[in-house]
Structures are given as structure tokens and as C-alpha cells.
């Protein structure tokens, strides 16, 4: 799995290349798109809703290679989990090119 897949950060519009085995999450339906971030600790996702409420949900990572071009999802940040801090996932779209 050495191939790279383009990912568009929906907050900044920046396009980056991610490994096919990068982790992704489904987007909670009430996620605040201006925040666009979910923290994952084990299989518990934490995020802020459009109305400002803090929520938790059961989240299971899926490989980026399983996503379709143009699909919106949350992609794991390039930074690795450090010292027990939860992994951050950002709102993104799988690049169509």
C-alpha cells in the first residue's frame, strides 16, 4: 500500500497526499462544519455539534483506500497519537483526481 490518495481539507481547501492506509471516520450528522474536528480515543469519538453541544459516539476507523472519490469523511491528522492524547480527525473530501 505505497500509493497515495489526494485529500482536500474542507476547512482550508489544501490538498495533501495521504497513504492508502490512513485512517478515516464517518462524519456525524450533527457535526459543526466550522469546527470540523473529531477526537478519537480508542473507539469513542468526541465532537461539537452545530448547536455547540459536546457529544460522544462509537466510531470505528476505516482505511482511506475504502473511500470513494468525492466522498466526504474525517481523515486522521498527519500527527501521530502522542502520550495518550486522542487522535484528531479533520473534515475532508477524497480528491477526485
**Residue 36's closest CA among 52, 25, 45, 48?**
48
| Number of domains comprising the chain | 1
Q: 33-66, pLDDT tens digit by residue?
A: 998 899 998 889 999 999 999 999 999 999 999 9
Q: 59-91, pLDDT tens digit by residue?
A: 999 999 999 999 999 999 865 555 556 689 999
Q: Strands, DSSP E only, in the chain?
A: 4-9, 15-19, 23-25, 37-41, 44-48, 54-58, 62-63, 72-76, 87-94
Its pTM stands at: 0.87
Domain containing 13 equals: 4-94
Question: DSSP character for 81?
Answer: P
Amino acid at each position: 500500500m505505497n500509493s497515495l490518495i489526494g485529500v482536500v481539507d474542507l476547512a482550508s481547501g489544501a490538498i495533501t497526499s495521504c497513504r492508502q492506509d490512513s485512517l478515516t471516520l464517518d462524519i456525524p450528522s450533527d457535526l459543526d462544519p466550522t469546527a470540523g474536528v473529531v477526537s478519537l480515543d480508542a473507539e469513542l469519538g468526541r465532537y461539537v455539534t452545530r448547536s455547540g453541544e459536546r457529544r460522544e459516539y462509537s466510531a470505528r476507523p476505516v482505511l482511506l483506500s475504502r473511500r470513494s472519490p468525492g466522498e466526504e469523511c474525517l481523515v486522521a491528522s498527519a500527527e501521530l497519537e502522542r502520550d495518550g492524547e486522542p487522535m484528531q480527525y479533520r473534515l475532508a473530501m477524497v480528491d477526485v483526481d
